[in-house]
Structure 1
């Protein structure tokens, strides 16, 4: 049996992965955190609620999603924070004057140099600007260029490309299974029948599973297993993914060892 690695404030990585499922942020100032995603910290760190604290100027500059205000806090001080989301894959990403829209449940933390906005698409948030954010996924993330059609359950987000359109395979729906659903109401719409269609330049982020992320009231902790932000453990590997193409934003993934 191998000897476990025991970390302290000096041996924890600086803004890098502790392992595939945990990320260490070196805090020297402020970060926005989704509630419940910090599992431990070292140092002198205070936590302020969004909308009712002494950081009104910071929040008015960097946080523009009132529907999600109850889900977030600001960490302020100096130290190291360990972020995780129930054994889902966790990684950091850099935006360089970019525009990224991501599922709200997947986003764990971001630097105040980025501006968070409410997407017009329910269940998604948009990050604008230059800075680092930390996100979870159910399995390693796959990066793809448009034009592409994506299973909605596998979609994590998209960077620097137009919002997707819905695409339905009506020939499939009119077939035998479509008739069964029409008469019985049984069965859902799978990724083979319904996709998000992306066109134009940019990058699409996919998680390597089709596990559905169910809608839930904003501010409520989900309990669905198998989805980031909502339940039981997910799998993952520490597989390395190459740097994303530099189209329209310089989104880059960084992995720990």
Structure 2
């Protein structure tokens, strides 16, 4: 049989029926959710499913007025959908690489654009970085997740994790910052001298400074935000 035959292609790319964890990486860029109850996922990330699954956008009163008010400020980029039922659900986000993290009574803060899905038992809250809302197009929002369960995040290409220690703070470009450990609180600083080198004629270079103990995940790509969405 030719290595380029349809049969050979199917054999190499078909779903793996032996995998039945709640979250599975079907490929590095496609997440399989073996749904038995419900899951939160980025709106528009469903690419396929089978079984009895229904989808609905996050309800206005789902998490109280305060959180919805923050959501309105940050634009459609924060939109989440809830999938309920049983079956196999496949999620993806513009071909970005997917990483699954298991939180064990821990917390992590994820750039809103890089959050793909999380188990329903995990608490979450949207945070708008108000200090830089006027400096960056569309501002910058993040989702803090805490509890026990799995979270799927995305990155353009392979992510890099940088360790933060009390003696060695880490400074990152907000556009390339994917997530950080929940106990860290980034400060924002500007560097006017950098703007010439970065080719950004208007405004200063905005940087995130992480101090303390924890980690920061970055990607080799700068996402551009417009009204809360990446372009």
Gap regions ≥5 residues in structure 2: 130-139
Decide whether aligned partners of structure 1 residues 34 and 65 sit closer, same or farther in structure 2, where only a CA change above 3 A counts. Answer: farther
Q: Does 1:7 align with 2:14?
A: yes
Gap regions ≥5 residues in structure 1: 225-257
Equivalents in 2 of 1:104, 1:64: separation in Å?
17
CA drift of 1:27 comes to 0.6
* Aligned twin of 1:132: 150
Equivalents in 1 of 2:217, 2:94: separation in Å?
20
Q: Does 1:187 align with 2:201?
A: yes
CA drift of 1:161 comes to 2.9
* Range that drifts further, 90-99 or 7-16: 7-16
Decide whether aligned partners of structure 1 residues 169 and 19 sit closer, same or farther in structure 2, where only a CA change above 3 A counts. Answer: same
Q: Does 1:216 align with 2:218?
A: no
Q: Does 1:100 align with 2:108?
A: yes
The 8 Å contact of residues 112 and 141 in structure 2, kept in 1 or not, is answered as yes
CA drift of 1:99 comes to 1.8
Structure with the bigger percentage of strand: 2
SS of equivalent residue, structure 1 residue 105: helix
SS of equivalent residue, structure 1 residue 162: coil
Aligned partner (choices 204, 210, 220) of residue 198 of structure 1: 210
* Aligned twin of 1:243: none
Decide whether aligned partners of structure 1 residues 64 and 137 sit closer, same or farther in structure 2, where only a CA change above 3 A counts. Answer: farther
Where in structure 2 are the equivalents of 1:1-257 lying within 5 Å? 1-2=3-4, 3-4=8-9, 5-7=12-14, 10=17, 14=21, 15-51=23-59, 59-60=62-63, 65-66=67-68, 67-68=70-71, 71-121=79-129, 122-146=140-164, 147-169=169-191, 172=193, 177=196, 187-188=201-202, 193-209=205-221, 211-217=222-228, 222=229, 224=231
Q: Which has the higher contact order (CA 8 A, sep 6+)?
A: 1
Alignment size in residue pairs:
202
SS of equivalent residue, structure 2 residue 175: helix
* Range that drifts further, 4-13 or 20-29: 4-13
The 8 Å contact of residues 223 and 230 in structure 2, kept in 1 or not, is answered as no
In the TM superposition, what whole-angstrom CA distance separates every residue of 1:40-88 from its partner, at most 9, and x where no partner exists? 0111111233216xxx7xx449x97314487222111111111111211
**Normalised by the size of structure 2, how large is the TM-score?**
0.75
Decide whether aligned partners of structure 1 residues 64 and 94 sit closer, same or farther in structure 2, where only a CA change above 3 A counts. Answer: farther
The 8 Å contact of residues 32 and 75 in structure 1, kept in 2 or not, is answered as yes
Tell me which stretches of 4 or more aligned residues in structure 1 moved more than 4 Å. none
CA RMSD of aligned residues (A): 2.9
Equivalents in 2 of 1:9, 1:145: separation in Å?
35
Structure with the bigger percentage of helix: 2
Equivalents in 2 of 1:64, 1:138: separation in Å?
32
